[in-house]
Amino acid sequence: MKVEIKPDGVWYHGSNMIFSELRTNSTITQWKELAEAFSHQPSSLRIITLN
């Protein structure tokens, strides 16, 4: 899996709120579905890729 970071792209935090500043050690991603999955605070998360 190749992850491409777009510096000017949209970043997601897992909350439906819009932030201009985050707390130290906050996690953000450009992968919307991943942020949504983490917003439910799972004890583990697995990503399966199919080739």
Q: One digit per residue, pLDDT tens: the chain, 51 residues?
A: 777 899 999 999 888 888 888 889 888 899 998 888 888 888 998 988 887
* Of residues 14, 18, 17, 46, the one with CA closest to residue 27: 14
- The CA-to-CA distance between both ends of the chain, in Å, stands at 9
Q: Tokens standing for 23?
A: 């707390």
The pTM of the full predicted model, rounded to 2 decimals, is: 0.68
Predicted confidence at residue 5, as pLDDT, reads 92
Dig out the tokens for 6 from the structure.
């777009």
Whole-angstrom distance, CA of residue 18 vs CA of residue 23: 13
